[in-house]
Structure 1
Amino acid sequence: SPSAEFFDLVAAAHTATASAPAVAALLAGADLGAGPVVDIGAGTGLLTEAVARARPDAEIIACEPSVGMRAVLTSRVFSDEDLRTRVTVTADAAPDLDLPDRISAVLLCGVLGHLDAEQRAGLWRRVTRRLAPGGLVIVELMQFQEPMTLPETRLATATAGRRRYEWWFGGAPDEAESGVMRLHSTWRVHRDGAPQPEREVHDTYRWEPFGLEDVVAESGMTARTLPTRPGAPP
């Protein structure tokens, strides 16, 4: 993914303040003894690491098909002795995961919209067959459930050394495929205080928007909405 170079610049803050606290709170009292936690679409490993810190007894399988993202993920694991003993990194993509016979929990954060209905159905079949009784599936969805136009908006700014990085995001319904969006990320890199970027990196991908009720219908499981951080409203 072209975004791999910049991913942690903005994802680290979101993970630390929203995803990680919510997931850690849910896993705090969970029985993870039946099998590993499987992080599907682990990206650069931010949430993988947060789960490992929250549950030092957990074995984790981190699956990431993108070479760029997986390079950062692997570096994160290799640079920490504790993670190296408990985290297995695989190149598996969600549609054709090689799952162990029994798993305690599954993380699907920012992943399901990349899959079409047939791929999601296959994933749910494999997950539900292997999920231990009382096991957890944690899903993070985008905040829109139907295709819509999202004007390009600057969502984040970060600085490293003499460079300023801006993340711009937008999207629109796919003109060729009903019920699907094309989402666009643009990274602009500015030198010192220069108003014009010295470099732009673009990333476009297909996304099927849907809500929690769709997850319930497709998976056959019960679901509830979690707060984005302990004590916060859903």
Structure 2
Amino acid sequence: MDDFYSPVAEYYDLVARAHSEGDTVLRERLAATALNGEPILDLGAGTGRTVAAIAESVPQCDILAVEPAPAMRAVLMHRVVNDPHLRQRVTVVAEPVDKLHLPDKLGAVVAYGVLGHLCREKRQQLWQLLLPRLSAGAPIFVELLPLEKPIVLPAFPLACETVGKRHYTASLQGEPGPDDTMLLTSCWTIRGGPCPAQVIRNQSVWHTFSLAELAQETRLRAERLTAQAGVLYA
């Protein structure tokens, strides 16, 4: 899987602050789920926002945090190393999804913001790896862009934050790519403080599909949680 995140990893948590609905519902659902002490897989753990949500919601389970992007993983490791509770429970690995070595059993899977980077063939490989390890009723939490087919996506605000003397604004826009893909471009503008203004553009590729299509692929029951988040039940 291509590394679309390292060029803008330092800004990633600014976006997460502006779009926290998925984190909130993840915490609520995990806290209400009986996991029997089985480990939880965080696929595409990023800078660790979902790791923190899992750890706070389910204090008794180990967490396997998978993050291939080096810059994102560096932030994740910093978060884990400096939190004694996370340091005891969280194992960080860099392997991409097609090279994962997983525990025999998983109590839940969190796949926020990652499945759209996988083509259908790669997703099928992932399901073949994950589904036999899930206990009956185990949840797979997913977060998808609300794009079920390629479209022209006009620029819209993504984040607006101030840190120290610098002000960060971001937008996202997209256009159809080959087959089922969207070509997404994020634009970050940073102003203020002692440095000149900066404009940073970053491109990524996202495969478009719906939560219902994921249910068909996995033959699991799906439930919509927010505009972007949902859950599949094994």
Query: Does the pair score TM above 0.5?
Result: yes
Residue 79, structure 1, aligned to residue 78, structure 2 = no
Structure 2-normalised TM-score? 0.90
Work out which of the residue numbers 139, 143, 148 in structure 2 matches 1:145.
Answer: 148
Give the structure 2 partner of residue 220 of structure 1.
219
Taking the TM superposition and a 5 Å limit, the aligned residue runs for 1:9-158 are: 9-15=14-20, 18-33=21-36, 35-158=38-161
> Which residue identity lines up with residue 189 of structure 2 in the other structure?
R
Maintained 8 Å contact 2:180/2:208: yes
> Which residue identity lines up with residue 200 of structure 2 in the other structure?
V
> Which residue identity lines up with residue 206 of structure 2 in the other structure?
W
- Give the C-alpha shift of residue 193 in structure 1: 11
SS at match of 1:125: helix
- Give the C-alpha shift of residue 138 in structure 1: 0.8
- Give the C-alpha shift of residue 227 in structure 1: 4.2
* Compared CA separation, residues 103 and 111, structure 1 to 2 (3 A): same
Residue 199, structure 1, aligned to residue 198, structure 2 = yes
CA distance in structure 2 between the aligned counterparts of 1:149 and 1:181, rounded to whole angstroms: 9
Q: Note the residue ranges of structure 1 that are not aligned, 5 or more in a row.
A: 229-234
Maintained 8 Å contact 1:103/1:131: yes
Maintained 8 Å contact 2:37/2:61: no
Residue 210, structure 1, aligned to residue 177, structure 2 = no
Any idea what the Cα deviations from partners look like across 1:175-215, whole Å, max 9, x if unmatched?
xx122110111111112599xx7112221111111111110
Q: Note the residue ranges of structure 2 that are not aligned, 5 or more in a row.
A: 1-5, 228-234
- Give the C-alpha shift of residue 34 in structure 1: 5.0
Structure 1-normalised TM-score? 0.90
Maintained 8 Å contact 2:37/2:60: no
Give the structure 2 partner of residue 160 of structure 1.
163
Q: How many residues align?
A: 222
Give the structure 1 partner of residue 230 of structure 2.
none
- Give the C-alpha shift of residue 132 in structure 1: 1.5
Q: Which runs of 4+ in 1 moved over 4 A?
A: none
Residue 182, structure 1, aligned to residue 187, structure 2 = no
Q: CA RMSD in A?
A: 1.7
Give the structure 1 partner of residue 176 of structure 2.
173
> Which residue identity lines up with residue 210 of structure 1 in the other structure?
F
Maintained 8 Å contact 1:34/1:103: no
Calculate percent identity across the aligned residue pairs: 39
More deviation in 116-125 or 130-139?
130-139
Maintained 8 Å contact 1:20/1:51: no
- Give the C-alpha shift of residue 48 in structure 1: 0.8
